[in-house]
Amino acid sequence: MSYASSGEFKRDASYIPDRITKDARTPEHGPTDGRMWPVEPGRYRLVAAKACPWATRTLIVRQLLGLEDVISLGLCGPTHDERSWTFDLDPGGVDPVLGIERLQQAYLARFPEYPKGITVPAVVEEASGEVVTNDFPWITHDFFFEWREFHRDDAPDLWPADLRDEMEPVMQRIYTEVNNGVYRCGFAGSQEAYDAAYDRLWTALDWLEERLSTRRYLMGDLLTEADVRLWTTLARFDAVYHGHFKCNRQKLTEMPHLWRYARELYAIPAFGDNTDFDQIKTHYYVVHRDINPTQVVPKGPDLSVWTS
């Protein structure tokens, strides 16, 4: 974690800038300072964790687009130590395709002196065992734009051409104010930083509550990438962020339009299948020892409300 002098939490948002694109072309949008890898079915493995909100985005989009047989999946367990995410869910604690115990091994296979944290999601080349990219916003972007010929026939249009100009500022506000906003609250290093983060978060959530009072999804009647990005924070809100991160003005269940919207998303298999509340709670309450030194995981909240 990094803090400004004011005690405000600062996220390190620099990632491996490589992209996987059709014919290894240089794309029109996004980072182009890294290596371009070609789209090739069976070549890559997505390594993710259902505990992590950033990784869950990639799990949802991969399933929505029908890429399960094109890009394989390795899942890490819900907790990690200072070194790396690990494959606790696999027999013997070893990923059955990559043959590694720690995701760190894929990073070091390519960058022996890799200086940053080992993050999920990460795309790994199966044959070499080397990490390709961990740049999560562009992983899902490229799943849609670069892997199109492998999408299932009824895959949703997650980036409708006529809505993209409107989507971009909506997604940017969701990222800065909501996705990252809960972390600014939870990891604030001073009362002043926490108070400012809290006010920013709830200003954004009130904006979303109002926006969803007149539309089914964030962009209207169509499910888009914007909904995927908001969902991962909403799914964790009552279980983790409300108490653990002190985002406690209201629960999600007390905001009628956001709650209706969240329950509708949860009923879509790609969202519900990739949301594991037990793993989510275990991750936050066990890994964040500076916030929860006892590592006690709460039994609540009652999760039956998602399906009742």
| 188 and 89 part of one domain | no
Check residue 4 and give its pLDDT.
55
Q: Return per-residue pLDDT of the chain as tens, 308 residues.
A: 554 556 888 888 789 999 999 999 999 999 999 999 999 999 999 999 999 999 999 999 999 999 999 999 999 999 999 889 999 999 999 999 999 999 999 999 999 999 999 999 999 999 999 999 999 999 999 999 999 999 999 999 999 999 999 999 999 999 999 999 999 999 999 999 999 999 999 999 999 999 999 999 999 999 999 999 999 999 999 999 999 999 999 999 999 999 999 999 999 999 999 999 999 999 999 999 999 999 999 999 999 999 98
Q: Is residue 4 part of a domain?
A: no
Q: Flag whether 123 is in a domain.
A: yes
**Same domain assignment for residues 199 and 269:** yes
Q: Are residues 85 and 19 in the same domain?
A: yes
86, 216: one domain: no
Q: 65 lies in a domain? A: yes
Angle, alpha carbons 117-121-125 (nearest 5°): 100
Question: Is residue 185 domain-shared with residue 75, that is, in the same domain?
Answer: no
Residue 5 located in a structural domain: no
Is residue 7 situated within a structural domain? Answer: no
Q: Looking at the domain assignment, is residue 156 inside a domain? A: no
Task: State the pTM of this model.
Answer: 0.96
Answer left, alpha or beta for residue 228, where phi above 0 means left and psi between -120 and 50 means alpha. Answer: alpha
**CATH number of the domain where residue 53 is located:** 3.40.30.10
Residues 203, 108 share a domain: no
Examine the domain organization and report whether 129 and 187 are in the same domain: no
Q: How many domains does the chain have?
A: 2
Residues 103 and 173 both lie in one domain: no
Rounded to the nearest 10 degrees, the angle between the axes of helix 136-145 and helix 225-236 is 140
Where is the domain boundary, 123, 150, 177? 150
Name the residue range of residue 262's domain.
161-306
Q: Identify whether residues 165 and 302 lie together within a single domain.
A: yes
Same domain for 85 and 16: yes
Which of 150, 175, 198 delimits the end of a domain? 150
Candidates 285, 31, 253; CA nearest to 137 is: 31
Last residue of a domain, one of 150, 182, 211: 150
Residues involved in catalysis: 52, 183
Determine the Cα–Cα distance for residues 60 and 194; give it in Å rounded to an integer: 31
Is 184 a member of any domain? yes
Same domain, 38 and 77: yes
* Predicted pLDDT at 26: 97
96 contacts: CB under 8 Å, gap ≥ 6 = 90
Query: How confident is the model at residue 258, as a pLDDT?
Result: 98
Residue 127 within any structural domain of the chain? yes
- Give the DSSP letter string of the chain: -EE-TTS-EE--------EEEGGGPPPSSS--SS-EEE--TTSEEEEE-TT-HHHHHHHHHHHHHT-TTTSEEEE--S-B-SS-BB-TTSGGG--TTT--SBTHHHHHHH-TT--S---SSEEEETTTTEEEE--HHHHHHHHHHTSGGGS-TT---SS-GGGHHHHHHHHHHIIIIIITHHHHHHT-SSHHHHHHHHHHHHHHHHHHHHHTTS-SBTTBSS--HHHHHHHHHHHHIIIIITTTT---S--GGGSHHHHHHHHHHHTSHHHHTT--HHHHHHHHHHH-TTT-TT-PPP--S-GGGGT-
Do 76 and 200 lie in a common domain?
no
